Amino acid sequence: MAVCQVCFRHCDLQEGRTGFCGARVCRDGEVTAANYGRITSLALDPIEKKPLARFHPGSLILSIGSYGCNLRCPFCQNHEISWSARAFSQAEKAEVITPQELAETAAYYRSRGNIGLAFTYNEPLIGWEFVRDTARLVHERGMVNVLVTNGTAELAVLRELAPYIDAMNIDLKGFTDRYYTDVLQGNREMVMNLIREAVTFCHVELTTLIVPGENDSPEEMEELSAWVAGLTDVCGGASGRDIPLHVSRFFPRFHMTDRPPTDVGRVYQLAETARKRLRYVYTGNC
């Protein structure tokens, strides 16, 4: 039996059992990443798709994903490879790629404009060992590493990766504990703590998906943007006001089809609210 130390859940796992995320398992009394090197998705994407608006704009980045996630967002757009029943049932069939092979693949696509590797699609921090091992090799080839994450991880995990990560897009999905706990099955405080640390060592952009009836009030956006603006020790000497925020439109999908898409006018309104405190606010899916 062993306790997983990746996120707030601290799953207590008996030998051979898998944690809540579906990707960490107890083997020989230690918790390891069962999804190490198991790649479910690979694509050469515009970096703006991550989304990153102020990090090497106009470039392409090789994006990879595995399986598993430690949240349960009912509107997940990547549920088929991340945490659906199908994702877990096909997990063992995912292609296995070594860090060396993946770093070489990233370098191969440099001739097509690739600047590095983005760990995305599922939650990369639950498989941080593979991220660390691969990102180190990508750096050795003079390329960059990007993390697209829900931010639900202990700071010890983040510190293992810090030397190798150049940019992150972190979901700050809302700004109430009710939403994080009851809807997402997450922990807002853990995400906020990770953001505070991430901004000290790499470029960070944040994304908030606006879900009708959940996190779509001007008051909540006021609080969220004020907190971001107040962050200190931002990488490169910038203030929290310089952290880009992506305000994104919700569409019904997966387990959340009980409401319409977010009104476009509401997305624009909330973006304007955020611009009172933040210099770089972008709208998405509109």
Domain limits for position 71: 36-284
In this prediction, residue 170 carries a pLDDT of 98
Assigned domain for 15 exists: no
User: Residue 218's pLDDT band (boundaries 50, 70, 90)?
Assistant: very high
Average pLDDT over residues 143-167: 98
9 lies in some domain: no
Q: What is the pLDDT of residue 55?
A: 98
Q: What is the mean pLDDT of residues 126-149?
A: 98
CA gyration radius for the chain?
18
How far apart, in Å, are the Cα atoms of 117 and each of 33, 62, 125, 195, 221? 20, 5, 15, 21, 31
3-state secondary structure of 282: strand
pLDDT band at 89 (very low <50, low <70, confident <90, very high): low
Domain assignment present for residue 12? The answer is no
pLDDT in tens, 96-125: 999 999 999 999 999 999 999 999 999 999
Specify the higher pLDDT residue, 86 or 103. 103
Number of structural domains found in the chain:
1
For residue 163, which of 144, 189, 141 has the smallest C-alpha distance?
144
The reported pLDDT for the residue numbered 78 is 85
For the chain, percent of residues with pLDDT exceeding 70:
97
Write down the pLDDT at residue 95: 79
Average pLDDT over every residue of 149-165: 98
Residue with the two structure tokens 């089809």: 257
What CATH number should be reported for the domain holding residue 123?
3.20.20.70
pLDDT at residue number 83: 73
Average pLDDT of span 131-148: 98
Question: Residue 203 falls within a domain, yes or no?
Answer: yes
Q: Is residue 197 part of a domain?
A: yes
Residue 138 clears pLDDT 90, i.e. is over it: yes
DSSP state string for 77-133: TTHHHHTSHHHHHTGGGSEE--HHHHHHHHHHGGGGTEEEEEE-SS-GGGGHHHHHH
Query: How confident is the model at residue 256, as a pLDDT?
Result: 92
Whether pTM exceeds 0.75: yes
Q: For residue 51, give the nearest of 193, 226, 268, 247 by alpha carbon.
A: 247
Listed in order, strand segments (DSSP E) in the chain are: 2-3, 12-13, 24-27, 30-33, 38-39, 41-46, 60-65, 95-96, 114-119, 144-149, 167-171, 203-210, 245-249, 281-284
Residue closest to 248 by CA, chosen among 225, 216, 202, 280: 216
Local structure of residue 30 (DSSP, 8 states): E
% of the chain at pLDDT higher than 90: 90
pLDDT of residue 239: 94
Domain presence at residue 5? no
User: Is 47 domain-assigned?
Assistant: yes
Q: Which of 91-95, 193-197, 228-232 has the lowest mean pLDDT?
A: 91-95
In a domain, residue 252? The reply is: yes
